[in-house]
Amino acid sequence: MAKYLVIVESPAKVKTIKKFLGPNYEVAASNGHVRDLPKSRLGIDVEHDFEPKYITIRGKGDILANLRKEVKKAEKIYLATDPDREGEAISWHLYFALNLQTKGKNVYRITFNEITKNAVKESLKNAREIDMDLVNAQQARRCLDRMVGYRISPLLWAKVKRGLSAGRVQSVALRIICDREDEINAFVPEEYWTLDAALAIPGEKKPLIAKYVGRQNGEDKNAAITSQTEADQIKKEVEKAKFQVAEIKKGERTKKAPLPFTTSTLQQEASKMLNFSTQKTMRIAQQLYEGVDIKGSGTVGIITYLRTDSTRVAEEAELASEQYITDKYGAQYYGENGAKKKNDQKIQDAHEAIRPTDVSRMPLEIKESLSRDQFRLYQLIWKRFLASRMAPAKYATVSVKITAGDHRFSVAASKISFDGFLSVYTDGEEKEESNTLIKELDEKTKLTLEDLDAKQHFTQPPAHFTEASLVRTLEEQGIGRPSTYAPTITTILARRYIAKEAKNLYVTELGEVVNNIMKDAFPTIVDVNFTANMEALLDGVEEGTVKWKSVISNFYPDLDEAVQKAEEELAQVKIADEESEEICENCGRKMVFKYGPHGRFLACPGFPECRNTKPYFEKIGVTCPKCGGDIVLKKTRKGRKYFGCMNNPDCDFMVWQKPTNEKCPECGSILLEKGKQLVCSGEDCGYHRERTQTEQSE
């Protein structure tokens, strides 16, 4: 009979760890949390020191009963849940749910950063007590999130519709996306021009492409070309001038190896390189961490723990990578200390970076044992880790300054002289040079102008957030932690506050409504700095320097006051369905506006007797320039707003910005509203003007 019981979180780990430990050990799974705050009420006693009231999660009774049977048989119990705040809290909940405090058993907490034989056996040698600072950090986070969700969500139900939610992190993430949308809508493009000179060089087949950078002297130095008139004037002057090499600078630059992956950077790179959503990345990484069946090795975890914001690498992994790189590529390819990162107070350094558990386990060698997506993600992690331990890449560079009368052009070119880490990993940002290195070029080289190419451009608005760029922004601003990025994005997508088209995230009408309510009634909750400071306090709890109930007791009174104030203000407003001018064709009542997953629609107020509904298209008083029909506000299937013709599908007119009836004086296209400006809808026309006060107030 097994003497020792090891309790893990996931059933997927059971078989793997049992194989490592042998017959004296029984391994069982808790299937995640076993206790939590009740769903039906707040579950925090605000009158008595904010004590949380935990109950057994519905459906976990049988699991706990089986675990109690195993506990009776065992001499020692090892709680081996995940190595983070959440895992520590699960172990603590198991301790009480299994009544281990009264059983007189020897109970230990063990953690391992990777599911390998050595790591699991080593964890048994370093068994410890449950870390209450980690547990309390999780309790504080859970209670704060519960307070925000359970006090604010009912207000959203009353104001908008049932089924909505607010969250301490999700509401800030929504605000960040809404603020970016406001920036994009207010952006007015500015015209600029570029001028490239194609220069023939004796003995060279391809011309040298030099870029215009400005005049030699005066205020116009490095000034941008802002109009075609200016571009034509410069062309006219340059065509008559003699091109001469003024200065040549040769040098070398290095490109440092990338850092190994953290949760955030893995999600970003997997999105960019593999087109994975954050949720998909975490799901597949979890599979690679918990264990896959490798031919010849059995079931083994092939990457380290996936929720981390540390770039630290264990000494044994460092030594193994040095040996592998030296054997495979040569000693000159090993970077002496690998990539290093400055200490960051936010980093929880208990974990390592995400890396392969065995660097010699090459992706191609185990490809047959992995699914397509598992292979692609493992290969990305393996290559990134190996590259992070390698030497920087080196480039030979040439910078050439060329004069043409009073004007200056420049040429920059580079060539890899030592590939270093690039022999393993490129991040897609390596740009091809339009000019190869010109070895024979000097100040005496004769340059002959072949062609001048002037091109019109317009400045671009800020980019819409993608899942990857949102994760990067959340991390940079200290919002949330590695374990929360993917669930946060998943939640606001599921609530239909935002819509995802291609990779871009767009705010829906529902998201705008919720964000405006949160900004007006709960400005602190959606304040980025406040939320970041709260994360710092939770880190302080984990470090043992801040008391967890102090964080909650300082937060709750302000939240309670804001909720009461909002409840009073909402009580003064008659929350009634807004009537439309549409008449229900079934019963003759005036139809009302309702909110659905894709925004507003029309419904009969006679429900349930009359169940008539229809889509709502808001007329904006603008005539379609193609067919003369009404332009209406519409939404894509995923909830993004646009303006299209009522006669669709017979007429395909559509624009993203609100159109007007005014025509562009230069090209005849209709003008669109963008913030305080009207801009031309024509792709090749940069006309814009300020909107009058009357136009802005309409």
Nearest in space to 577 (alpha carbons), one of 596, 552, 557:
596
Alpha carbons 43 and 143: distance in angstroms, whole number? 9
Q: Enter the tokens of residue 435.
A: 């000019």
Neighbour count for residue 418 (Cβ, 10 Å): 16
Alpha carbons 268 and 263: distance in angstroms, whole number? 9
Alpha carbons 249 and 411: distance in angstroms, whole number? 11
Q: Enter the tokens of residue 558.
A: 């302000």
Distance from the first to the final alpha carbon of the chain: 81
Among all chains, which residue has been given the structure tokens 């065992």? 74
Active-site residue (options: 25, 305, 395, 506) = 305
Amino acid identity of 327?
D
Alpha carbons 33 and 616: distance in angstroms, whole number? 44
Q: In this structure, are residues 673 and 657 in contact, taking their beta carbons and an 8 Å threshold?
A: yes
Alpha carbons 305 and 112: distance in angstroms, whole number? 8
Amino acid identity of 5?
L
Q: In this structure, are residues 215 and 406 in contact, taking their beta carbons and an 8 Å threshold?
A: yes
494 burial (CB, 10 Å; 0-12 / 13-18 / 19+) is exposed
Q: In this structure, are residues 121 and 344 in contact, taking their beta carbons and an 8 Å threshold?
A: no
Alpha carbons 2 and 121: distance in angstroms, whole number? 16
Alpha carbons 584 and 423: distance in angstroms, whole number? 68
Q: What residues contact residue 337 under an 8 Å CB cut-off, 6+ apart?
A: none
Alpha carbons 664 and 687: distance in angstroms, whole number? 7
Phi, psi at 507, each rounded to 5°: -80, 135
Q: Is 329 a catalytic residue?
A: no
Please give the positions annotated as active site: 305
